[in-house]
Every structure is written in C-alpha cells, then in structure tokens.
C-alpha cells in the first residue's frame, strides 16, 4: 500500500485523480492540502462516500509518505516545491505532476524537480483506451504508414502533442502554426520535419469532436467514412446500450472487426455522451498509470522533459501563433530538447 498526499483540491483532483486513486487498492490518501483549509471533501467510493478535511501547506506531513501529487496552477508549483525543499526530506518521495508542470517564468528553476526520488508526469491522453487501440492498429500496419491526423474540435494544446509523440513515435516538432479565424475559430498545423502530421480545427468541444487517422493503406476514424479508393476504412465505435458503455469496437463495412469489452461497465448519466466518456477515459488512464507506478513497471515515456517541451511549444503558439524548433540531423532530438536537458541538470 502506497501512502499519497495530494496538494490541490480543484476539478482535476476531485474529478480525475481522487476517483482513480479510490478504485485502485494500492493507494491510501493520507492528506489533501489546499489553500482553502478546513473544507470537507466528499469523494464517492463504492456505495458510500469518503470524507477528507483539507489542510494548509504548513501542516503537510511527508514522513510516512511514498508519493506526492501536485495539482495546482503552474505559477504556484515551483513556489510550493521550494517550500517543501526547505521543510521536508524529498529525496525518498516520488512526485506525480500534471501538465503543464511549470510556468514559463520559472523555466530556469526546473532543476528543483531533481530534489525528488522520481518524477512522473500524469499525462493521461497517451493512456486512453481508445488511443491505445489506435496505436495497436498502427503497430500492426493495418493502415500502412501513418501519414496524417485530423482533429475536429477534439484537441487541446500539450495533450495533443503528447498523443502525437506516441502515435508517430517522435520526440519533437519542427513547426506548429496556428491561423486564427473569425468567431473564435482557428486552424492549427503541426509538422515533424518537413511533413505535416496533424491538422486541428478549433474551438474545442469533446461532445461533438471527431478524429481521423490517415495512413498509406487505410484510415481509422470515429465516424463512418468510405473513401473512393482501395483504402481500408476502419471505424472506432462506442458500444452503448441503455446508457451503459460496455466497451469499444472496430468496424469495417458495417461488420465488427474486433471487440474491446470493458471489465467494469460505465454508466452514462447525461446527454453529453462523448464528453462523459472522455472523463471516464481520463480516470481509467490515470488509474492504469497509478497501477504501473505501484508495481514499479511504469515506463516513463512521457518524461518531465517532454512535458516541459510541449508546454513551451504551445506557449509560443498561444503567444505568437507559431512555434519553430530545429531537429539535429541523424538523431531523434532537437535544439529545444537539449536546452531543456541542460537546464534540468
């Protein structure tokens, strides 16, 4: 049993982190630290609720703690870690951190993360069940070489970059270009080398969001499509009956290609089905990461360096509408990757 302390009591903690911890028998929540101390937090667990009273940071107790989770606004993260470094022994504690893990003003202070035994980034998108299914079909070469991804109202900044890293097996991005349109609409194009690998249509709305992955031999999408050539058009569908999500299926030409049943069915409680499933996928993904961490089997493919890189990339996109990085020939790294590595030391 791993003892964990949570710093933060916002939506991310209440809606995703705590539910994932409570369905995992390998963890015990020792404390919840908040800037609103004394507040009672009730978390649904099985057929009842577990109650926690939040504590101020000054009353944090890490002497019997294995893992520390920090889920607070980025501008506060380094300030909190500095305080902990002065008052606690951190070198035996594993830190779990969300994206983005830093504020741009604190970029040159990221070496403070080295105070911890390990740092794991809880970036859940690459662990979504649906995206793991997509990766399986890419690895099996069922759509040929993956060439392009289109995300329609179904993308969010650094989360999308973490997913592209996994699907394309890349570590950096050459160009990200965002073109603003009227009415709050925008289009974003992401390049790896000289090849466009992703097109994004905003604004974001997960309930209507859609995607399509296009390869040299076929495609995978979450809506029905039939191309005019010999492509194999695969469709990812949610299997829902009586408002219960029982699993996922891959279809081709109205025939089930493969089923992916869920061990624990998910009850949909509203009309915003896709948004609810998105929230379920987040909890499930965090639970999977926590399970691997508890068994020392978590391969930290999405590292702290990757999370910082993706945050910087989208900071530039939001600020200037453009991000440019320079890949180093004959390697899988870039100039920005090396700079982040040097700062972390």
Reported as a pLDDT band with limits 50, 70 and 90, residue 235 is very high
pLDDT in tens, 45-85: 777 788 899 999 999 999 899 999 999 999 999 999 999 99
E strands present in the chain: 2-7, 27-33, 40-45, 48-53, 67-70, 94-97, 118-121, 146-152, 175-180, 186-192, 195-202, 210-215, 218-221, 232-241, 244-252, 255-267, 322-324
Taking 90 as the threshold, does the pLDDT of residue 115 lie above it? yes
- Of 69, 74, 87, 73, residue with least CA distance to 32: 69
CB 84 within 8 A of CB 60: yes
Reported as a pLDDT band with limits 50, 70 and 90, residue 345 is confident
Domains of the chain: total: 2
The Cβ of residue 18 has, within 10 Å, a number of other Cβ atoms equal to: 25
Residue 192 falls within a domain, yes or no?
yes
pLDDT in tens, 261-287: 998 889 998 889 999 999 999 999 999
Rounded CA gap, 314 and 336, in Å? 13
Residue 118 sits in the same domain as residue 130: no
CB 196 within 8 A of CB 189: yes
Locate tokens 């994004």: which residue? 200
Q: What residue numbers bound the domain in which 13 lies? A: 2-122
Rounded CA gap, 260 and 241, in Å? 15
Residue 236 sits in the same domain as residue 194: yes
Residue 46 sits in the same domain as residue 176: no
Q: Among residues 89, 122, 155, which one ends one of the domains?
A: 122
Q: Among residues 122, 152, 168, which one ends one of the domains?
A: 122
Rounded CA gap, 2 and 34, in Å? 21
Residue 299 falls within a domain, yes or no?
no
Residue 118 sits in the same domain as residue 131: no
């Amino acid at each position: 049993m791993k003892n964990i302390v949570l710093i933060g009591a916002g939506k991310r903690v209440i809606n995703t982190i705590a539910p994932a911890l409570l369905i995992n028998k390998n963890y015990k929540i020792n404390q919840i630290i908040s800037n609103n101390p004394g507040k009672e937090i009730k978390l649904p667990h099985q057929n009842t609720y577990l109650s926690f009273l939040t504590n101020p940071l000054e009353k944090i107790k890490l002497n019997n703690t294995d893992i520390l989770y920090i889920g607070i606004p980025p501008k506060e993260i380094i300030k909190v870690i500095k305080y902990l470094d002065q008052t606690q022994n951190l070198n035996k504690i594993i830190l779990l951190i969300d994206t983005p893990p830093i504020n741009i003003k604190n970029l040159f202070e990221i070496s403070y993360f080295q105070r911890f035994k390990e740092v794991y980034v809880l970036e859940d998108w690459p662990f979504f069940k649906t995206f793991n299914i997509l990766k399986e079909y890419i690895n099996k070469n069922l759509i040929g070489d993956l060439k392009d991804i289109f995300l329609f109202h179904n993308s969010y900044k650094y989360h999308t970059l973490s997913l592209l890293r996994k699907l394309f097996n890349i570590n950096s991005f050459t160009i990200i270009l965002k073109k603003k349109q009227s009415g709050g609409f925008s289009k974003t194009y992401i390049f790896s080398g000289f090849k466009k690998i992703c097109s994004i249509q905003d604004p974001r709305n997960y309930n209507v969001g859609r995607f399509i992955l296009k390869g040299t031999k076929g495609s995978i999408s979450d809506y029905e499509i039939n191309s005019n050539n010999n492509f194999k058009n695969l469709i990812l569908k949610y299997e829902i009956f009586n408002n219960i999500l029982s699993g996922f299926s891959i279809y081709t030409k109205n025939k089930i290609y493969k089923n992916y049943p869920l061990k624990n069915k998910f009850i949909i409680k509203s009309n915003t089905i896709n948004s609810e499933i998105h929230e379920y996928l987040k909890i499930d993904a965090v639970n999977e990461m926590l399970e691997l961490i508890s068994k020392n089997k978590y391969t930290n493919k999405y590292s702290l360096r990757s999370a910082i890189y993706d945050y910087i990339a989208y900071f530039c996109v939001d600020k200037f509408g453009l991000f440019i990085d320079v890949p180093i020939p004959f390697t899988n790294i870039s100039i920005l990757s090396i700079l982040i590595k040097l700062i972390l030391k």
